[in-house]
Structures are given as structure tokens and as C-alpha cells.
């Protein structure tokens, strides 16, 4: 048996951690050795002293700080751990564990949070990753290629294509399901989500159209500052699918994808209108947009706040006008327009109080030039935006202050530039004016035909007609372009028999002309 002080069995005997054989051995030692008994008593006294030390307690519940800190860490590094804290030495982390962690519900929740934060930060200054297909309100020649393809396809192919679209819509719905309980919050979500989600996904290479892992989306989302500095505007491939922030991937119209040239997209203006049933029926708003030659994309929000891609095009894909289905329905129209076009639209809305019952104009706080448009606001319109949306604009403000847009001269204040543009512009069109023949006109005055290779006979035709006029577009339009979100809501009952068919609505502008 070892020397008594060195005999660790005494400690284990004290702790009751010996086997039966070891215990018998120690008891034999204790019976024979007074030194062993002395040491055991001292160890027992020491143990008692230690166990009687006053207990330390935290004077607060740290679960809140713990979860907040964990949230911050997971948002900053949602998937890959940097250090294996269960081992003093750094442990290799294989791709399997990364994938496994990324696919856990908890990781998806936090990644979803990260995505939400990213898109909120990018709400007002998010160039899209998908190249544009230009559209003009009420443009009889504007052909949605995907719709045209579907219309020419067999019913089975068309059904398959629609099923794909529905899957895309569900994906978008999943994003938009972060909706507030009350109607106003739903509306705010409906307004916020389309714009927000644009910046979320990174562009997927055409050769590899696979979607990035969900957990990685937030890390890959461009930061607002980067977006603001890019000065490049890209638009969705068409329809409203771009609103849902999907990875672009290889769009069906691969050749139709084009990258819009550098231009100055400055601020997001939100215009909310309550429109009368008659104005909805007559598609008055669409005519105003057409008269201003405003390029638009469109998304609709149902009464429950979810965003849905709407197929309102005719079989020929000539019309994108909204066909209202029910009172309270919300229509979201995303557009890019020059100050002159916006001014004209707002003036037209103001000139028709019977059609546009109320107008709310919410300028981008970062753009002083937009503030003057508040004068067009009147009546009680749709609920004001959420504070979150306002807060989300702050990064935009910061980014813009740090990075002037590519074509905005740094030595010229935005307000001065806008005044010059307005002075050089033609008079504003209002209600009753004969709408111009809709053209597929880019807001910067450049002809899409110079950048987009025609893919079909209809494409060729539609691009050939307005190209001359577009290339002569006034230079003023190249200076500034604002992103505008029109939020329309029908107030009052929509008689069923007054709902225009697509074909009927197509004929309206023609009759006016």
C-alpha cells in the first residue's frame, strides 16, 4: 500500500467512490494506521469547509442577454462555427456538419431572421439581380414573353408552367407570412415585402441555377451600402416574380435578360391611393401611368396581406392593367420614373378627386427633392407605413450620404438638379388628356432594343416601333430616376357586372385614342 499521504484511496473513500475491494482495503488501513485516520479526518474537515462556503448566485436572469448575444452571433455567422468550444484544440468542421446544422429548424429560424433583417436594411435601395424586361402601362405592344410562351403552349405545358409559378408564389408567400395581425400591418407588410426582398438573393450564375442554401442567403445578400454604391439597376425578368426575391438563376428568357446600364436610382417614393370603384373599373390609374410612359412592374396583395403574382395579361400579353376583383383589394405597382413622370402622375391624381379619393405621398427621407411632392397628398389614405419601414430607410440615407450616385454630380444638390429637370420638362399631363400611345420606353431614355436581343417576332416588332423615339429621349431623363411604389386600394363596392374583362379593358385605351 502506498504511503499514507499519497494514498488517493483515502479521498475516494471519503467520497464513496471506491469499489468494494478498494473499500475493504482502505478500512484495513484505517484500522491499522493512526496517521491514515488523522489524514482522513483532516480531509473530511476540509471537505466540510469547502461545502459550507456561501453559495454564489447571479442576481439576475441572464436568459435574455444569452439569447440576444446568441442571436447576434448566429446572425453574424449563421452556419459555420469558428471554434469548437467543447475541445481546447480547434476541431475541423466538415461540410457534412455545416450542412446538417444549416438544415436544422433552429438554423432556419435564425437564418430567416437574418434574411428578414437583410431585406429590411435593403428596403429602399435594392437593385435587383435579374436583368430587366421593360414594360409600359397599358402598352398594347408590350409582350410578356413568358405569358406568350404559355399561351402558345399546349394545355399540359401551360399547366406545368403555371404549377411552377404557383410554387414560386408559395415561396413568396412563405416570405410574406411574417404578417402583422391587423389589416394595417398587413398592408404595410404588403408594401414593404416586395421592395425589401429584391436585395436578398444574390445573382445565381446562369450555368449553375441552383439556389443557394437558405442559411447562406443572409451572408450573401448585398449590404445596403454596396447596393447604393453600385449605381446599377436591374429589374426582374418580368411579372411580379422579381418581387419575391428569388434567386434569379437561369430565367426562361435567358437571352431576354439584360443588364440595365448605369443610371441614378435615388430614392423610393411611396404613393398610396384610395380609388373609387368606377376608377378601378375604368383602370384610370393604369391610363395615367401609360400617359406618363412609366415603366412598371406589378404585384397584387390580397385582402389577407399576402402577395400574389397576378396574371392579368391577355392571351396576346398586351395588357397588364389591373382587373379588380373585390373591394378592399390592394394593388402594388412598382415603377421607376423620372421626377417629371412622377410629377405628372401626382398631378393627374390630384386632378381627379372623384377617382382618387385620397392620396398619400411618402417621400424618401434621404431625398430632399421628393419632399415637395407632399403637396399632392390629400384626404385620408392608406395607413402610414410602419416604423420598421421608416427605420429601414436610414441605412439608405447613410449609404447615399457616403456614396453619391454615379450620374448625380457631387457638386450639385439634388434639389437644384430636380428643379432644372422640372424646368426643362414638358407640361404635366392630367385627366382628360389624350394618353399617348404607350411605348416601351426606358426611364433613362435609352432604347432597350440597343441592349436586348429580340427573341421573337413580337419582340422584334415591339422594339422596332418605339426605338427611334426612345433614342431621341430627352437628356433630362438620364439624370435621375426614382423608384416608386404605388399602393392602390379600392374603396366601395365593385359591382360584379362592372368588372371589365381583359379584352374589354384592352379596348379602353384604344377607344380613347
Partner 1 sequence: MIDDAQLIAETLAGKPAAFGRLVVKYQDRLYNTVVHVVGNEHDARDVVQDAFVQAFIKLDTFRQSSAFFTWLYRIGFNVAVTHRRCRRPTLSIEQVRDASGEEPVDTEVEPAERLERDETAAQVRQAIARLGEEYRSVLVLREIDGCRYETIAKILELPMGTVRSRLHRARLQLREQLKEVLINDE
Integer Cα distance of 443 and 117 in angstroms: 30
The answer to whether residues 485 and 191 touch, using CB atoms and an 8 Å cutoff, is yes
To the nearest whole angstrom, how small is the minimum distance from the Cβ of residue 23 to partner 1? 14
User: Residue with C-alpha cell 384610370?
Assistant: 284
Q: Which window, 11-19, 244-252, 257-265, 502-510, contacts partner 1 (CB under 8 A)?
A: 11-19
User: Residue with C-alpha cell 469547509?
Assistant: 49
Instruction: Give the three cell numbers for residue 218.
Output: 443572409
If one asks whether residue 76 binds partner 1 (CB under 8 A), the answer comes out as no
Look at the chain and count its residues: 513
Instruction: Give the three cell numbers for residue 54.
Output: 456561501
**Residue 124: DSSP 8-state:** T
If one asks whether residue 42 binds partner 1 (CB under 8 A), the answer comes out as yes
Please state whether beta strands 356-362 and 265-275 pair in parallel, antiparallel, or not at all (unpaired). Answer: antiparallel
To the nearest whole angstrom, how small is the minimum distance from the Cβ of residue 197 to partner 1? 21
- For 111, the enclosing helix (H) or strand (E) is helix 105-121
Among 74, 118, 139, 480, binds partner 1 (CB under 8 A): 74
Q: Which window, 97-105, 198-206, 294-302, 436-444, contacts partner 1 (CB under 8 A)?
A: 97-105
| SS3 of 302-322 | CCCCCEECCCCCCCCCCCCCC
Q: Which window, 61-69, 329-337, 391-399, 446-454, contacts partner 1 (CB under 8 A)?
A: 61-69
To the nearest whole angstrom, how small is the minimum distance from the Cβ of residue 386 to partner 1? 24
If one asks whether residue 57 binds partner 1 (CB under 8 A), the answer comes out as yes
CA dihedral of residues 328, 364, 309, 190 (deg, nearest 10): -50
Comparing CB distances to partner 1, the nearer of 31 and 86 is: 86
Comparing CB distances to partner 1, the nearer of 100 and 453 is: 100
Comparing CB distances to partner 1, the nearer of 53 and 511 is: 53
Among 20, 53, 92, 410, binds partner 1 (CB under 8 A): 53
To the nearest whole angstrom, how small is the minimum distance from the Cβ of residue 88 to partner 1? 6
Q: Which window, 105-113, 125-133, 171-179, 423-431, contacts partner 1 (CB under 8 A)?
A: 105-113
Among 24, 45, 160, 391, binds partner 1 (CB under 8 A): 45
Size of interface with partner 1, in residues (CB under 8 A): 48
Q: How far apart are the first and last CA of the chain?
A: 113
To the nearest whole angstrom, how small is the minimum distance from the Cβ of residue 108 to partner 1? 7
Return the number of other C-beta atoms located less than 10 Å from residue 182's C-beta.
11
If one asks whether residue 17 binds partner 1 (CB under 8 A), the answer comes out as yes
The answer to whether residues 235 and 280 touch, using CB atoms and an 8 Å cutoff, is no
If one asks whether residue 497 binds partner 1 (CB under 8 A), the answer comes out as no
Among 50, 410, 457, 511, binds partner 1 (CB under 8 A): 50
Return the number of other C-beta atoms located less than 10 Å from residue 466's C-beta.
21
Among 38, 47, 450, 513, binds partner 1 (CB under 8 A): 47
Residue 153 CA: distances (Å) to CA of 17, 142, 147, 149: 80, 19, 10, 6
If one asks whether residue 66 binds partner 1 (CB under 8 A), the answer comes out as yes
Integer Cα distance of 489 and 63 in angstroms: 44
Instruction: Give the three cell numbers for residue 354.
Output: 372623384
If one asks whether residue 11 binds partner 1 (CB under 8 A), the answer comes out as yes
Among 1, 32, 35, 70, binds partner 1 (CB under 8 A): 70
The answer to whether residues 494 and 280 touch, using CB atoms and an 8 Å cutoff, is yes
If one asks whether residue 21 binds partner 1 (CB under 8 A), the answer comes out as no
The answer to whether residues 172 and 179 touch, using CB atoms and an 8 Å cutoff, is no
Instruction: By CB under 8 A, name the binding residues for partner 1.
Output: 5, 7-8, 10-12, 15, 17, 42-43, 45-47, 49-51, 53-58, 61-67, 69-71, 73-74, 81, 85-88, 97, 100-101, 104-109
Amino acid at each position: 500500500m502506498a504511503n499514507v499521504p499519497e494514498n488517493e484511496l483515502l479521498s475516494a473513500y471519503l467520497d464513496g467512490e471506491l469499489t468494494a475491494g478498494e473499500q475493504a482495503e482502505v478500512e484495513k488501513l484505517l484500522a491499522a494506521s493512526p496517521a491514515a485516520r488523522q489524514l482522513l479526518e483532516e480531509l473530511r474537515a476540509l471537505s466540510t469547509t469547502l461545502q459550507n462556503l456561501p453559495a454564489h448566485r447571479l442576481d439576475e436572469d441572464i436568459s435574455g442577454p444569452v439569447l440576444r448575444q446568441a442571436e447576434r452571433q448566429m446572425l453574424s455567422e449563421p452556419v459555420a462555427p469558428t471554434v469548437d468550444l467543447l475541445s481546447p484544440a480547434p476541431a475541423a468542421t466538415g461540410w457534412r456538419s455545416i450542412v446538417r446544422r444549416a438544415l436544422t429548424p433552429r438554423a432556419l429560424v435564425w437564418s430567416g431572421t437574418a434574411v428578414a433583417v437583410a431585406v429590411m436594411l435593403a428596403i429602399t435601395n435594392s437593385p435587383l439581380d435579374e436583368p430587366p424586361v421593360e414594360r409600359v402601362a397599358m402598352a398594347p405592344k408590350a409582350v410578356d414573353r413568358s405569358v406568350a410562351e404559355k399561351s402558345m403552349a399546349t394545355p399540359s405545358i401551360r399547366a406545368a408552367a403555371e404549377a411552377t409559378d404557383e410554387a414560386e408564389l408559395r415561396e413568396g408567400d412563405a416570405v410574406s407570412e411574417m404578417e402583422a395581425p391587423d389589416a394595417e400591418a398587413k398592408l404595410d407588410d404588403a408594401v414593404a415585402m416586395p421592395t425589401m426582398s429584391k436585395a436578398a438573393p444574390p445573382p445565381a450564375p446562369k450555368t449553375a441555377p441552383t439556389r443557394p442554401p437558405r442559411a447562406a442567403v443572409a451572408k450573401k445578400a448585398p449590404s445596403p451600402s454596396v447596393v447604393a454604391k453600385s449605381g446599377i439597376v436591374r429589374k426582374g425578368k418580368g411579372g411580379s416574380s422579381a418581387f419575391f426575391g428569388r434567386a434569379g438563376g437561369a430565367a426562361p428568357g435567358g437571352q431576354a435578360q439584360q443588364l440595365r446600364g448605369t443610371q441614378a436610382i435615388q430614392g423610393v417614393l411611396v404613393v398610396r391611393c384610395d380609388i373609387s370603384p368606377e376608377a378601378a373599373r375604368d383602370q384610370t390609374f393604369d391610363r395615367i401611368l401609360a400617359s406618363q410612359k412609366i415603366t412598371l412592374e406589378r404585384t397584387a396583395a390580397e385582402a389577407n396581406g399576402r402577395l400574389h403574382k397576378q396574371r392579368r395579361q391577355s392571351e396576346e400579353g398586351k395588357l397588364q392593367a389591373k382587373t379588380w376583383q373585390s373591394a378592399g383589394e390592394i394593388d402594388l405597382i412598382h415603377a421607376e420614373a423620372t421626377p417629371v413622370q412622377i410629377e405628372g402622375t401626382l398631378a393627374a391624381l390630384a386632378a381627379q378627386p372623384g377617382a382618387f379619393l385620397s392620396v398619400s405621398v411618402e417621400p424618401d427621407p434621404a431625398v430632399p427633392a421628393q419632399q415637395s411632392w407632399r403637396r399632392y397628398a390629400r384626404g385620408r389614405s392608406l395607413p402610414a407605413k410602419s416604423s420598421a419601414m421608416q427605420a429601414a430607410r436610414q441605412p439608405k440615407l447613410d449609404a447615399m450620404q457616403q456614396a453619391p450616385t454615379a450620374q448625380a454630380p457631387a457638386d450639385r444638390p439634388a434639389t437644384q438638379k430636380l428643379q432644372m429637370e422640372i424646368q426643362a420638362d414638358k407640361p404635366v399631363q392630367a385627366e382628360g388628356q389624350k394618353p399617348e400611345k404607350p411605348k416601351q420606353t426606358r426611364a433613362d431614355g435609352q432604347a432597350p432594343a440597343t441592349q436586348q436581343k429580340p427573341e421573337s417576332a413580337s419582340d422584334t416588332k415591339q422594339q422596332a416601333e418605339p426605338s427611334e423615339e426612345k433614342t431621341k429621349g430627352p437628356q433630362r431623363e438620364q439624370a435621375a430616376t426614382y423608384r416608386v411604389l404605388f399602393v392602390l386600394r379600392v374603396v366601395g363596392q365593385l359591382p360584379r357586372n362592372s368588372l371589365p374583362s381583359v379584352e374589354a379593358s384592352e379596348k379602353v385605351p384604344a377607344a380613347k385614342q
